[in-house]
Amino acid sequence: MFDVHTLYVLAGHLPAIFLGLFVGIFFGALPGLGMIVGITLLLPLSYNMDAVGAILMLLAVYQGAEYGGSISAIVLKIPGTAMAAPIMIDGVPMAEQYSPGKALGYSLYGSTFGGLFGAIVLVLFAMPIADLALMLGDAEIFLLGLLGLIAVSGLAEATLVKSVIAVVLGLLVGTIGIDLMTGLPRLTMGLPELYDGPNLIAVVVGLFAISEVLSMAAAQINSPQTIDPKNMRTNLSLNEIKHTFRAMLTGSTVGVATGVLPGVGSTISSWIAYAAAKKLGRDQAMFGRGAPEGIVAPDAANNATVGGALLPFLALGIPGSASIAIIAGAFVIHGVQPGPQLMRMDPQFIQDLFIGFIVTTICMFFMGRFLTTLFARALTIPRSILAPTIAALSLCGVYVSSGNFFDLWLAFGLGVATFLLRGLGYPIANFILALILAPIIEESFRRALTISEGSYEIFIGTPTALVLSLTAAGLIVGLTFKFIQKTAAQTRA
Amino acid sequence: MMRKFLSVGLIIVLLGCGESPVDYNQYPAKPISIIVPYGPGGTTDVFARAFAKVVIDYLPGNAPIIVVNKPGGSSTIGITALRRAKNDGYTIAMLPTGVLEVQPHLQRVRWTLEDFRPIIGLLDIPAAINVLNNDPLQNFEQWRDATEKAPGTFMYSTSGGVGSSTHIAMQIVQEKLNIKLRWIPFEGEAASRAALLGGKIQGNFSIPNVHKGGELRPLVFVTASKPTSDLYADTPTFVELGFDYEASFPMGVIAAKGTPPQVINMLHDAFKSAMQDPQIEKLYQTYDLAPAYRSPDELDLLLQRNSELARHSLVKLGMIR
């Protein structure tokens, strides 16, 4: 596989890969900016490059941003992207109590493992997995979304009532926009800015960045940071890697699987990965208190999603995520039509792309080690400087993403609301996940029924659907039973 | 007396200067913004960026043309931005015109078709009723027979959502053929393509891609335009089959109403010349699309026809009264 030609091609593409990675990690780490802005920035440049180089550079942005998002989640308690939010659950306690370097190290190793895993699945099993993904219809996607919602609702430390309130609020906000089936606007208050639903970047910045800045201001903003620079090292010992290997594998599998499903959105993979790692974890009590598995699993999932989302695109020409859809533009402009015929007719191109993709992941590891220590120094910046810087940067990011002033107010309003709700103990994670899942769940449910002409049999008609339905029903019954038991115990006491 | 005349004359001259502070001999003297009502990376965006680079060579001034992506609001936000911008020729927009034809009827926007002036039509996006390449239905007649025998069973998607110009076009097709199909809405092309390949639905209404080795084989083109490939030479168009309807999805450049006619003309001429430029010709080839030039008046007429058809269909769909 590694012939001279490929090595020669790769050497030529290394600068592009490093540029893409730098932009990706940097923009991913800055709240609000994120990979879409990074890809947009490099897109014009890519038009003048050759096909492989252009595509590798944009994929490097994607890969880098998936990792970069978790740097700020751990260091600043502000996930750079919505996908990095679950990393906070364990990343922040570990950084605060033990060592930020360790937390970042787990994050980097998890990301690299996930990226490589995704790449290898892509190289070896592209066609069969793509065909498998096609077999899943709307009924199955609806059930998967429902399962994700149930699984994650159980994660929060908050009381069940508050969790449910947060979920319902998220589902409500998720319905904002023009309804796909009827074309009628829902909860838009006549504002065209809300026709396509609230801008997710504005939502993430409001929920996490603005509310965190307000928390910083509310707490002692002039308190000096005391971080030992020695704790910034991102090395992991062999034992530590061994210990988290299973969680990395779980996360990567979940990441590839959700990335492959077109339209399901790679945004939820890290949440499901976290829930799965917790269920399979050796020491469940550690989760939420700085468990390494809680960091590596979602991080691995995020980066495995890149390979996963690329898979149906290369195999069938169907982009698996919004970012791949933008990268698709680079394919078209270079006259490359993804699909089965590309795999057959241009094996050289595919081979260069695959090897380049693996090299990108390896480069990310080294780039990450270098950049992460720089970013981690943010912790030593006094909060009185850090807070306004974050506010300004993240609001810039929101504006760049859409060019709408409305989105700035949206981020600001959500930030204030979140600051208050956080103080009252409502889990923000449940809210954002419900918001992301709402359109997937609702649309696939209604579409499944449109296709089946109103017959609910479609939800148990295929073996996959039947298994998923039974699992969901079991989970709901179990949760209800637990709740009744708990309430009964409370009333007795 | 003479002095009075002179001063009045001077005042008139000065007033005249105040009337037209923009010197169009040097146009563009400052950067022109070309709004694309979509995010980056899509077909419109790519065309806009390519034209922006080339068109400037055909204008007297040398300020650049900048592509401004204004996505959102079912692509109404970009158009609203154009409506609000000064109509001095320094803000224009490039877009597939469907949104101009449909949205004003839904009364959610504060502009109508009359608020804009077409500059030029650049291409006609082809659209066919497609099935999978391995589908037993070989041609339009077989498909029509099948749908007549089992009304409401053929499930298809369109590239746009409910009330979009592609959705409306298929409503008209069903009316003209007197058949009943089942439309399944999808959020985006990717999900609908997956459903089609997975056999959940049977067809779609978009650009076929067997000429690129893809899976979408056309039964009939509802537009006059086809992708530039010999493969489709024998595929009939709706009009060729004797039906009285031709869908048209032009992509063009527009300005706000009241933009000085000489600027419209300059831009029109520059874009028209750019269409012959080797760089732009190559772009059309990459997308397998044929250039389809339309003058401002021709595009205006087409938009009004499409708008009227859209209104008619929206009433039938029960979306407006």
Q: Residues B231-266: pLDDT tens digits?
A: 999 999 999 999 999 999 999 999 999 999 999 999
Q: Cβ contacts (< 8 Å) between A317 and chain B: which residues?
A: 193, 209, 214
Q: Is A228 on the interface with B (CB under 8 A)?
A: no
Distance CA A91, CA A114 (A): 17
Distance CA A345, CA A424 (A): 59
Q: Considering CB atoms only, which of A135, A195, A341 is closest to B213? A: A341
Q: What is the pLDDT of residue A227?
A: 59
Q: How far apart are the first and last CA of chain A?
A: 68
Q: What is the pLDDT of residue A465?
A: 92
- Cβ atoms of B208 and B216 closer than 8 Å: yes
Q: Is B53 on the interface with A (CB under 8 A)?
A: no
Q: Cβ contacts (< 8 Å) between B42 and chain A: which residues?
A: 329
Stretch B216-235: mean pLDDT:
95
Q: E strands within chain B?
A: 32-36, 65-69, 91-96, 116-124, 128-132, 155-158, 182-183, 203-206, 216-221, 250-256, 291-294
Stretch (H or E) spanning A186: strand A185-186
- Determine whether the interchain pair B286/A332 forms a contact, defined as Cβ–Cβ distance below 8 Å: yes
Which residues pair with residue B129 across a beta bridge? Answer: B205, B220
Enclosing domain of residue A408: 4-459
B131 to chain A nearest CA, in Å? 16
Q: DSSP string covering B228-261, please?
A: S-GGGTTSPBTTTTT-S--B--EEEEEEETT--H
A:349-388 residues touching chain B, CB 8 A cutoff: none
Distance CA A192, CA A172 (A): 18
Mean pLDDT in chain A?
Answer: 85
Q: Cβ contacts (< 8 Å) between A57 and chain B: which residues?
A: none
Q: Is A94 on the interface with B (CB under 8 A)?
A: no
DSSP annotation of B180 reads -
Nearby residues of A490 by Cβ (< 8 Å), 6 or more positions away: none
- Which pairs with CB-CB distance under 8 Å and at least 24 residues apart come from B46-50? B46/A329, B46/A332, B46/A333, B46/B283, B47/B94, B47/B122, B47/B123, B47/B251, B47/B283, B48/B94, B49/A44, B49/A47, B50/B279, B50/B280, B50/B283
- Determine whether the interchain pair A39/B69 forms a contact, defined as Cβ–Cβ distance below 8 Å: no
Q: Considering CB atoms only, which of A43, A337, A450 is closest to B184? A: A450
- Determine whether the interchain pair B213/A340 forms a contact, defined as Cβ–Cβ distance below 8 Å: yes
Distance CA B135, CA B143 (A): 10
Q: Residues B2-11: pLDDT tens digits?
A: 566 556 555 5
Q: Is A330 on the interface with B (CB under 8 A)?
A: yes
Q: A51-76 vs A100-135: helix axis angle to the nearest 10?
A: 130
Q: What is the pLDDT of residue A231?
A: 66
Burial A251-286 (b: 16+ CB within 10 A, else e): bbbbbbbbbbbbbbbbbbbbbbbbbbbbeebeeeeb
Q: What is the pLDDT of residue B125?
A: 95
Distance CA B123, CA B286 (A): 14
Report the helix count and the strand count for chain A, using DSSP H and E: 19, 2
Stretch (H or E) spanning A177: strand A177-178
Q: Which two tokens stand for residue B321?
A: 């009264």
Q: Is A195 on the interface with B (CB under 8 A)?
A: yes
Q: Is B228 on the interface with A (CB under 8 A)?
A: no
A83 to chain B nearest CA, in Å? 21
Q: Residues B157-193: pLDDT tens digits?
A: 998 888 899 999 999 999 999 999 999 998 878 788 8
Q: Is the peptide bond before B28 cis (omega within 30 degrees of 0)?
A: yes
3-state DSSP helix/strand/coil percent for chain A, to nearest 5? Answer: 80, 0, 20
Stretch (H or E) spanning A185: strand A185-186
Q: Cβ contacts (< 8 Å) between A262 and chain B: which residues?
A: 190-191, 193-194
Distance CA A89, CA A99 (A): 15
Q: What is the pLDDT of residue B192?
A: 87
Q: Residues B32-85: pLDDT tens digits?
A: 999 999 887 788 998 999 999 999 999 998 899 999 988 888 889 999 999 999
Q: Is A199 on the interface with B (CB under 8 A)?
A: yes
Q: Cβ contacts (< 8 Å) between A335 and chain B: which residues?
A: 286
Residue of B200, B202, B216, B217 to mutate, interface with A, max A Cβ within 10 Å: B200
A-B C-beta contacts closer than 8 Å: 139
Q: Is B134 on the interface with A (CB under 8 A)?
A: no
Sequence ranges of the domains in chain B: 25-124+249-316, 128-232
Q: Which two tokens stand for residue B2?
A: 């003479």
Low-confidence ranges of chain A (pLDDT < 50): 1
Q: Count the alpha carbons within 13 Å of A408 in the hemisphere toward its beta carbon.
A: 11
Label residue B18 by pLDDT band (50, 70, 90). very low
- Cβ atoms of B157 and B184 closer than 8 Å: yes
B:162-181 residues touching chain A, CB 8 A cutoff: 162-163
- Determine whether the interchain pair B194/A192 forms a contact, defined as Cβ–Cβ distance below 8 Å: no
Distance CA B94, CA B107 (A): 22
- Cβ atoms of B155 and B184 closer than 8 Å: yes
B:68-127 residues touching chain A, CB 8 A cutoff: 68-74, 76-77, 80, 106, 108-109
Domains B25-124+249-316 and B128-232 share a fold: yes
Q: How far apart are the first and last CA of chain B?
A: 66
CA A264, A269, A275 angle in degrees (round to 5)? 130
The CA-atom distances, in angstroms, between A332 and each of A402, B143, B187 are 24, 31, 21
Mean pLDDT in chain B?
Answer: 90
Q: DSSP string covering A73-126, please?
A: HHHHS--SSGGGTTHHHHHHHHHHHT-HHHHHHHHHHHHHHHHHHHHHHHHHHH
Q: What are phi and psi of A351, to 5 degrees?
A: -65, -45
pLDDT of B296 over the 50 cut: yes
3-state DSSP helix/strand/coil percent for chain B, to nearest 5? Answer: 45, 20, 40
Burial A303-316 (b: 16+ CB within 10 A, else e): bbbbbbbbbbbbbb
User: Three-class SS of residue B119?
Assistant: strand
Distance CA B78, CA B141 (A): 42
Q: Is A312 on the interface with B (CB under 8 A)?
A: yes
Residue of B38, B46, B67 to mutate, interface with A, max A Cβ within 10 Å: B46
Q: Cβ contacts (< 8 Å) between B209 and chain A: which residues?
A: 317, 337, 339
Distance CA A33, CA A74 (A): 17
**CATH number, domain B25-124+249-316:** 3.40.190.150
Distance CA B127, CA B251 (A): 13
- Cβ atoms of A317 and B193 closer than 8 Å: yes
Residue of A182, A310, A437 to mutate, interface with B, max B Cβ within 10 Å: A182
Q: DSSP string covering A7-54, please?
A: HHHHHHHHHHHHHHHHHHHHHHHSTTTHHHHHHHHHHHHHHTS-HHHH
- Cβ atoms of A207 and A415 closer than 8 Å: yes
Q: Is B260 on the interface with A (CB under 8 A)?
A: no
Q: Is B191 on the interface with A (CB under 8 A)?
A: yes
- Determine whether the interchain pair A134/B198 forms a contact, defined as Cβ–Cβ distance below 8 Å: yes
- Cβ atoms of A238 and A99 closer than 8 Å: no
Q: Cβ contacts (< 8 Å) between A439 and chain B: which residues?
A: 187
Q: Cβ contacts (< 8 Å) between B72 and chain A: which residues?
A: 192-193, 195-196, 199, 402, 404
Residue of A199, A201, A345, A402 to mutate, interface with B, max B Cβ within 10 Å: A402
Which residues pair with residue B158 across a beta bridge? Answer: B205
Q: What is the pLDDT of residue A210?
A: 92
- Determine whether the interchain pair A329/B77 forms a contact, defined as Cβ–Cβ distance below 8 Å: no
* Rg, chain A, Cα only: 22
Q: Which two tokens stand for residue A16?
A: 């592009």
Distance CA A5, CA B86 (A): 55
B152 to chain A nearest CA, in Å? 10
pLDDT of B315 over the 90 cut: yes
pLDDT of B130 over the 90 cut: yes
Q: Cβ contacts (< 8 Å) between B68 and chain A: which residues?
A: 403
Q: What is the pLDDT of residue A263?
A: 62
Distance CA A279, CA A438 (A): 24
A460 to chain B nearest CA, in Å? 16
Q: What is the pLDDT of residue A334?
A: 81
pLDDT of B20 over the 60 cut: no
Block residue for tokens 């912790």: A379
Q: Is A215 on the interface with B (CB under 8 A)?
A: no
Q: What is the pLDDT of residue A158?
A: 65
Asked whether residue A488 is domain-assigned, the answer is: no
Residue of A134, A327, A407, A442 to mutate, interface with B, max B Cβ within 10 Å: A134
Q: Considering CB atoms only, which of A39, A192, A447 is closest to B80? A: A192
Nearest to B122 by CA among B20, B54, B70, B177: B54
Q: Cβ contacts (< 8 Å) between A194 and chain B: which residues?
A: 73
Distance CA B105, CA B320 (A): 7
Label residue B302 by pLDDT band (50, 70, 90). very high
pLDDT of B19 over the 50 cut: no
Question: Closest-CA residue in chain A for B186?
Answer: A180
Q: What are phi and psi of A80, to 5 degrees?
A: -65, -30
Q: Which two tokens stand for residue A19?
A: 């540029």
Asked whether residue A173 is domain-assigned, the answer is: yes
Q: A211-218 vs A405-423: helix axis angle to the nearest 10?
A: 50
Class of domain B128-232: alpha beta
CA A354, A357, A360 angle in degrees (round to 5)? 155
Domains of chain A: total: 1
Q: E strands within B178-301?
A: 182-183, 203-206, 216-221, 250-256, 291-294
Percent share of chain B, pLDDT over 90: 74
A:135-154 residues touching chain B, CB 8 A cutoff: 135-138
Distance CA A303, CA A357 (A): 12
User: Three-class SS of residue B19?
Assistant: helix
- Determine whether the interchain pair B213/A195 forms a contact, defined as Cβ–Cβ distance below 8 Å: no
